[in-house]
């Protein structure tokens, strides 16, 4: 007589396969909810940083000291001390 289809050994092996596959998925960052939400947070932070940078550069556009720094160095990206520190996140 042949082995029944629901061989307990085979069922157990299949269960192990599922566990192995689940572990593999856990290791895959794109499948992890935690890392997905971390990525989402990173995107939000990047957007925040970009917005505050945009605001900063709008400010420097009207800053007399930044204009003086630009004129003095001949570099259109030069910033005054205060705005340079802000740009580097020190303020
Ligand atoms: Zn400035």
The full set of domain ranges for the chain reads: 54-91
pTM for this entry: 0.45
Centre of ligand 1 from the C-alpha of residue 2, in Å: 85
For 79, left (φ over 0), alpha (ψ -120 to 50), or beta? beta
CA angle 75, 78, 84 (to 5 degrees): 165
Cα–Cα distances in Å, from 77 out to 20, 27, 60, 87?
Answer: 54, 43, 10, 11
pLDDT of 49 strictly over 80: yes
Centre of ligand 1 from the C-alpha of residue 42, in Å: 28
Centre of ligand 1 from the C-alpha of residue 67, in Å: 7
Q: How confident is the model at residue 14 (pLDDT cuts 50, 70, 90)?
A: confident
pLDDT for residue 32: 56
Q: How far is Cα 23 from Cα 39, in angstroms, rounded to an integer?
A: 21
Centre of ligand 1 from the C-alpha of residue 48, in Å: 21
């Amino acid at each position: 007589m042949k082995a029944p289809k629901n061989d307990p050994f085979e069922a157990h092996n299949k269960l192990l396969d599922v566990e192995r596959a689940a572990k593999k998925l856990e290791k895959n960052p794109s499948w992890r909810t935690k890392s997905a939400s971390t990525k989402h947070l990173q995107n939000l932070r990047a957007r925040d940083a970009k917005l505050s940078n945009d605001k900063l550069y709008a400010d420097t556009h009207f800053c007399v000291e930044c204009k003086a720094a630009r004129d003095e160095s001949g570099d259109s990206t030069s910033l005054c001390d205060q705005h340079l520190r802000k740009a580097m996140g020190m303020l």
